[in-house]
Amino acid sequence: MSDDSVLPPPEIENLLAESRLFPPDPAFVAQANASAEMYAEAEADFEAFWAKHARERIDWSKPFETTLEWDLPFAKWFTGGELNVAYNCVDRHVERGLGDKVAYHWIGEPGDTRTLTFADLQREVSKAANALKELGVQTGDRVAIYMPMIPELPIAMLACARIGAPHTVVFGGFSAESLSGRINDCGAKVLITADGGYRRGKEIGLKHHADEALADTPTIEASIVVRRLGHDVHMVPDRDHWWHDIVDRQSDDCPPVAVESEHMLYLLYTSGTTAKPKGILHTTAGYLLGASLTHEVVFDIKPDDVYWCAADIGWVTGHSYIVYGPLANATTSIMYEGAPDTPAWDRWWQIVEDYKVSILYCAPTAIRAFMKQGEAWPAAHDLTTLRVLGSVGEPINPEAWLWYHENIGGSRAPIVDTWWQTETGQILITPLPGVTTTKPGSATHPFPGIAADVVDADGNSVPLGGGGYLVLKRPWPAMLRGIYGDPERYHETYWKRFPGMYFAGDGAKRDLDGYLWLLGRVDDVMNVAGHRISTTEVESALVDHKSVAEAAVVGKKDEVSGQAIFAFVILKADREPSDALAVQLREHVAYVIGPIARPKFLMFVPDLPKTRSGKIMRRLLRDIAEGRVLGDTTTLADVGVVDTIREHSGSAEE
């Protein structure tokens, strides 16, 4: 954290809405998977609680001997045990007679559909795994995946898991440079990609980004390319293989490889406060347990539910709650390729009606976007099948919560506001439907077995009604095991600020009833549409442009995306500011990192406010971006700078 980072101010709107309580409906309580006893049971002996579920929920090739080895900050769960994740997500369901049950109802944006049963998945996953083996992938080798939301994406992940080859999925919206950076960090051997996909009625090519990335990735030996769009793309002989060639001709028999509990299942890269993304490392048994138990309990999953997590699999939400959690629970999921407004703003509600979706899990940014379009869109559809609604990615403001409750949930379906992170792997703070009385805007309480606390700057618990830093005080099964290749950075980033505790990077408040209210990130990381983007990464991308001398980036409050990226740019002496250059710079960031990081606002400034030690004072820049009265300027080296910037503020254009 930088010196000038401060706790975000308490959200006044949250405090005002606190008075509204939503107790569970008795009819829901009577059938709920969750029970209040779970808390007491887990509290009495958290290791025994997780061990019991690990024995019951996971099919082991070899039972584990030790529940937890905790050598702070390094955890090992269920050591001595062996298992295969793909077997647990697919094969065992087929063996138990669920082969014909639908695993995914897939819906392409243009309207094409595919249905995959668990038996289909077993076949396709085995073939894809055999194709990886043909390309020389062995247990332990890393495989990069860069794909749109098509069925081959979960198939590819499971194929990796089947042979014990850790995957790293790179979100399809990321740039070639982001892709090559991640491939090089983990030394991936094979890339699985596609010619492209559909988004907002347009064809979005991927293969040319992949090619650009592969020009700079010495460890990649081969690629597999799914044909989604059907156009000619450049295929490099001896390197690139069409999926329909190399996968389709394989045998559908591929025995799952049993790996140790702590075998690496995947890496997922996430932003921190430095420019270099961190490879968050997740392992096998604990992760599978954490994802599957929370999925079943938090969403009240029943065998005939139609469950839809509307995230992209490229983020951790998709890993845990589109792929591993739901499949381990033999759940039928919806998977939708495209945008919520294509062809019109009722696309989601049409899908809910057509497929009788019973559980929907999405982000506040989507809810706010729907809110903006008005209630007529959902009102035109039969949404009465919906019985649980979830929210994830950022704090949900009470207005959006209430809108979701009334217009999507028919004032009937409980809402679970779930707090967690790429690092936590599983939901950690959430209501339990049928148990928890909710308050709009509060993620309520830690999941059974999770020890969360709110502490002050010295690490002491704050009293009820107080605010501070969110920490976790004991390990949990799906927790990250480290940052790939950098144990020191793992320790520094998460365990050093408050010794003995995991610091999540979020501010939180606990009200007088003990409810937790998440207040956003306290470091220099923005939350744009529910995704973490570091200010440093965007700054590096700007400075990478030949016209830019220096840049500072902050998050500005945004009605739809939560935060929008606001960039302050100092040009090199011989360059002139212009609207055209501003557009160019914004595009440059989109090119270097991906469209999600494109600054919404960009202002040319002659100077930046700095402390005497030379640190950019983001707090002041945030004030300027928000048009607020300036906070404390006593540490500012040159007080005149802010006025000069203010005089320039006419030039911030979207």
Q: Could you tell me which stretch among 148-156, 314-322, 330-338, 339-347 binds ligand WT7 (CB under 6 A)?
A: 314-322
Calpha distance 445→341 (Å, rounded): 34
Q: Of residues 36-95, which lie at the interface with ligand WT7 (CB under 6 A)? A: none
Binding ligand WT7 (rule: CB under 6 A), the pick from 18, 141, 417, 539 is 417
* 124 sits near ligand WT7 (criterion: CB under 6 A): no
Q: Which helix (H) or strand (E) holds 521?
A: strand 516-521
* 273 sits near ligand WT7 (criterion: CB under 6 A): no
Q: Residue 56 is encoded by which pair of tokens?
A: 């019951």
Minimum gap (Å) between residue 392 Cβ and ligand WT7: 5
Minimum gap (Å) between residue 144 Cβ and ligand WT7: 19
Decide: 288 and 326 in contact? Cβ < 8 Å: no
Calpha distance 631→153 (Å, rounded): 47
Calpha distance 608→89 (Å, rounded): 52
Q: Of residues 429-448, which lie at the interface with ligand WT7 (CB under 6 A)? A: 443
> Regarding beta strands 548-558 and 531-534, do their DSSP bridges make them parallel or antiparallel, or are they unpaired?
unpaired
* 527 sits near ligand WT7 (criterion: CB under 6 A): yes
* 142 sits near ligand WT7 (criterion: CB under 6 A): no
Q: Of residues 193-252, which lie at the interface with ligand WT7 (CB under 6 A)? A: none
Calpha distance 47→55 (Å, rounded): 12
Decide: 622 and 8 in contact? Cβ < 8 Å: no
> Regarding beta strands 264-270 and 278-283, do their DSSP bridges make them parallel or antiparallel, or are they unpaired?
antiparallel
Given the complex with ligand WT7, which of 393 and 467 has the nearer CB atom? Answer: 393
Minimum gap (Å) between residue 86 Cβ and ligand WT7: 23
Given the complex with ligand WT7, which of 209 and 531 has the nearer CB atom? Answer: 531
* 185 sits near ligand WT7 (criterion: CB under 6 A): no
Binding ligand WT7 (rule: CB under 6 A), the pick from 419, 484, 503, 601 is 419
Q: Residue 109 is encoded by which pair of tokens?
A: 């944006």
* 314 sits near ligand WT7 (criterion: CB under 6 A): no
* 532 sits near ligand WT7 (criterion: CB under 6 A): yes
Binding ligand WT7 (rule: CB under 6 A), the pick from 117, 175, 317, 332 is 317
Minimum gap (Å) between residue 48 Cβ and ligand WT7: 27
Binding ligand WT7 (rule: CB under 6 A), the pick from 413, 518, 564, 652 is 518
Q: Could you tell me which stretch among 44-52, 161-169, 312-320, 456-464 binds ligand WT7 (CB under 6 A)?
A: 312-320
* 394 sits near ligand WT7 (criterion: CB under 6 A): yes
Q: What is the DSSP string of 564-585?
A: EEEEEEEEPTT----HHHHHHH
CA 13 to chain centre: 26
Minimum gap (Å) between residue 589 Cβ and ligand WT7: 18
Q: Could you tell me which stretch among 57-65, 90-98, 163-171, 315-323 binds ligand WT7 (CB under 6 A)?
A: 315-323
* 393 sits near ligand WT7 (criterion: CB under 6 A): yes
Calpha distance 552→538 (Å, rounded): 8
Binding ligand WT7 (rule: CB under 6 A), the pick from 270, 438, 444, 540 is 270
Binding ligand WT7 (rule: CB under 6 A), the pick from 210, 316, 479, 652 is 316
Q: Which of 398, 491, 502, 505 is nearest to 443 (CA)?
A: 398
Q: Could you tell me which stretch among 175-183, 256-264, 298-306, 420-428 binds ligand WT7 (CB under 6 A)?
A: 420-428
Decide: 576 and 606 in contact? Cβ < 8 Å: no
Binding ligand WT7 (rule: CB under 6 A), the pick from 173, 181, 505, 577 is 505
User: With CB under 6 A, what is the number of residues at the site for ligand WT7?
Assistant: 24
Q: Which residues pair with 259 in a beta bridge?
A: 83
Given the complex with ligand WT7, which of 296 and 506 has the nearer CB atom? Answer: 506
Q: Which residues pair with 308 in a beta bridge?
A: 334, 360
Q: Residue 341 is encoded by which pair of tokens?
A: 């407004």
Minimum gap (Å) between residue 269 Cβ and ligand WT7: 10
Minimum gap (Å) between residue 436 Cβ and ligand WT7: 14
Q: Residue 407 is encoded by which pair of tokens?
A: 């217009």
Binding ligand WT7 (rule: CB under 6 A), the pick from 66, 373, 421, 536 is 421
Calpha distance 94→413 (Å, rounded): 32
* 418 sits near ligand WT7 (criterion: CB under 6 A): yes
Residue in the structure block whose two tokens are 């020009």? 215
Given the complex with ligand WT7, which of 532 and 586 has the nearer CB atom? Answer: 532
Minimum gap (Å) between residue 492 Cβ and ligand WT7: 17
Q: Which of 517, 370, 371, 366 is nearest to 441 (CA)?
A: 517
What's the number of CA atoms in the CB half-sphere (13 Å) around residue 203? 11
Binding ligand WT7 (rule: CB under 6 A), the pick from 277, 530, 562, 609 is 530
Helix residue spans in 433-546 (DSSP H): 487-495, 535-543
Given the complex with ligand WT7, which of 318 and 577 has the nearer CB atom? Answer: 318
Given the complex with ligand WT7, which of 393 and 446 has the nearer CB atom? Answer: 393
> Regarding beta strands 415-418 and 482-483, do their DSSP bridges make them parallel or antiparallel, or are they unpaired?
unpaired
Minimum gap (Å) between residue 106 Cβ and ligand WT7: 22
Q: Of residues 604-623, which lie at the interface with ligand WT7 (CB under 6 A)? A: none
* 422 sits near ligand WT7 (criterion: CB under 6 A): yes
Give the angle subtended at the CA of 529 by the CAs of 523 and 532, to the nearest 5°.
30
**Which region holds residue 538: left if phi is over 0, alpha if psi is between -120 and 50, else beta?**
alpha
Q: Which of 568, 573, 575 is nearest to 648 (CA)?
A: 568
Calpha distance 547→419 (Å, rounded): 40
Burial (CB count within 10 angstroms: exposed 0-12, middle 13-18, buried 19+), residue 55: middle
* 400 sits near ligand WT7 (criterion: CB under 6 A): no
- Tell me how crowded residue 648 is: count the other CB atoms within 10 A of its CB: 17
Given the complex with ligand WT7, which of 196 and 446 has the nearer CB atom? Answer: 446
Minimum gap (Å) between residue 539 Cβ and ligand WT7: 19
What's the number of CA atoms in the CB half-sphere (13 Å) around residue 206? 29
Q: Which of 411, 349, 397, 342 is nearest to 376 (CA)?
A: 349
Given the complex with ligand WT7, which of 507 and 599 has the nearer CB atom? Answer: 507
Minimum gap (Å) between residue 270 Cβ and ligand WT7: 5
Minimum gap (Å) between residue 529 Cβ and ligand WT7: 10
Calpha distance 480→244 (Å, rounded): 35
Binding ligand WT7 (rule: CB under 6 A), the pick from 153, 400, 504, 569 is 504
* 475 sits near ligand WT7 (criterion: CB under 6 A): no
Q: Residue 94 is encoded by which pair of tokens?
A: 């087929």
Given the complex with ligand WT7, which of 190 and 526 has the nearer CB atom? Answer: 526
Given the complex with ligand WT7, which of 122 and 317 has the nearer CB atom? Answer: 317
Written in H, E and C, the secondary structure of 204-252 is EECHHHHHHHHCCCCCCCEEEEECCCCCCCCCCCCCEEEHHHHCCCCCC
Residues of this chain that interact with ligand WT7 (CB under 6 A) are 270, 315-317, 392-395, 417-422, 443, 504-506, 518, 521, 527, 530-532
